[in-house]
Amino acid sequence: MASPVAADLLPPALRARLRGLRILPRRARGGHGIGLHASRSRGAGIEFAQYRGYEQGDEPRRIDWKLYARSDRLFVREAERESPLRIWLLLDTSASMAQADEARPDWSRLDATRQLALCLAEIALAQGDACGLVLCPATQAPVDPGAGPRQRDRLRQALAAVTSAGVWPSGAERTPAWSRIARGDLVIALGDWFDPAAVDALERLAATGREVIALQVLTVEEREFPFRDGRRFVDPETGEALLGDGPALRRDYLARFDAAQRALDARLDAAGIRHARHGLDAAPDAVLRQLFDARAAGA
């Protein structure tokens, strides 16, 4: 069966629902370029700043024709020139990302993560920002941040080739790839975040001047534990197995799972990491709207 990424994980209906979403850092940044992050310089940005007289070479579309009708003079609308943002998509590619629900075995956590990553890249590139990709474990070379249609193709090709295997890498193993992530960059990390070492790595990134957003991707079975018969549960990374009866285990499992989720929330909150959860049974734009809907945020 072909990988879902080999087909189009961004059908027109989904792409349309991404319009209006903006990936914005918590702190405005100065700089150069025209992204969606306001600085003090003037240019052809998004937020209106002032009028100035028309000069030869100005684009006609920036002329305020209504004001011309009232004043008989040509004025150009200026806006805040905005600074570009470097966005890194950081994907957990450890073995647990291959987990899928029995009801939909062809749709794994990794597939959902790749779809979310494609959506995030679409939003980032549409708003004029640079977007890159780094994997943990590093099964392929990072894609350095870039913009434009060619970068979209690079990211799509890299994501189509992503596989899941192994465990979360040690700090020494992460260093070559993660050293590319500069202070002030925005990192959007996607994974299950069950491994404390992975959460520790996100905390370290946030503590060293990178802004981090964590998206946790869960299967329906992890969230609801719907099993009604005897089961053999196997950890995909360690191979450890547990035999048990589904209904007998469910109450204790859900209590432990809820406690673990609350502990994760507390760690991320303490580190200043924005976070949200996505289930394999949900549309990808739902969690992205929760985080990035400019209208809901009053932008």
> What CATH number should be reported for the domain holding residue 230?
3.40.50.410
pLDDT of res. 3: 52
Max mean pLDDT range (83-92, 235-244, 265-274, 284-293): 265-274
Question: pLDDT (tens digit, 9 = 90+) per residue, 221-256?
Answer: 999 999 888 777 777 777 777 777 778 889 999 999
Residues 268-286, mean pLDDT to the nearest whole number: 97
As a whole number of angstroms, the distance between CA 79 and CA 84 comes to 15
Q: Note whether 215 and 252 are same-domain residues.
A: yes
Question: Domain check: are 78 and 223 in the same one?
Answer: no
Residue ending a domain, among 25, 49, 82, is: 82
Q: Considering the domain boundaries, does residue 13 fall inside one? A: no
**Does pLDDT of 298 surpass 70?**
no
Quick one: pLDDT at residue 28? 46
- 119 shares its domain with 62: no
Strands (E) across 66-207 are located at 75-82, 86-92, 100-101, 104-108, 130-136, 143-146, 186-191
- Condensed to tens digits (0 to 9), the pLDDT of residues 85-95 reads 899 999 999 99
Q: Is residue 2 part of a domain?
A: no
177 and 165 housed in the same domain: yes
Residue 261, pLDDT > 70, answer yes
pLDDT above 90 coverage of the chain, percent: 58
Q: 93-150, pLDDT tens digit by residue?
A: 999 999 999 999 999 999 999 999 999 999 999 999 999 999 999 888 999 999 999 9
Lookup: tokens for 204: 């370290």
Q: What is the C-alpha separation between 77 and 63, in angstroms, rounded?
A: 6
Q: Are residues 155 and 60 located together in one domain of the fold?
A: no
pLDDT band (50, 70, 90) for residue 79: low
Domain residues for 72?
38-82
**Does pLDDT of 274 surpass 80?**
yes
158 with 285, same domain: the answer is yes
Residues 131 and 196 in one domain: yes
Alpha-carbon dihedral 116, 122, 128, 134, rounded to 10 degrees: 50
Same domain, 139 and 152: yes
Average pLDDT over the chain, rounded to whole? 84
Whether 30 is covered by a domain: the verdict is no
Q: What is this structure's pTM?
A: 0.79
pLDDT at position 19: 87
Q: Which of 55, 56, 51 is nearest to 77 (CA)?
A: 51
Instruction: Identify the band that residue 192 occupies on the pLDDT scale cut at 50, 70 and 90.
Output: very high
Statement to judge: residues 107 and 231 lie in one domain = yes
| Distance between CA atoms of residues 11 and 20, nearest Å | 17
Query: 246-270 and 196-207 are packed helices; what angle lies between their axes, rounded to 10 degrees?
Result: 10
Q: Is pLDDT above 50 for 191?
A: yes
The lowest-confidence range among 55-64, 119-128, 131-140, 257-266 is 55-64
CA nearest neighbour of 233 among 262, 253, 263: 253
Same domain, 52 and 117: no
The total number of structural domains in the chain stands at 2
**DSSP tag of 208:** T
Does one domain contain both 150 and 263? yes
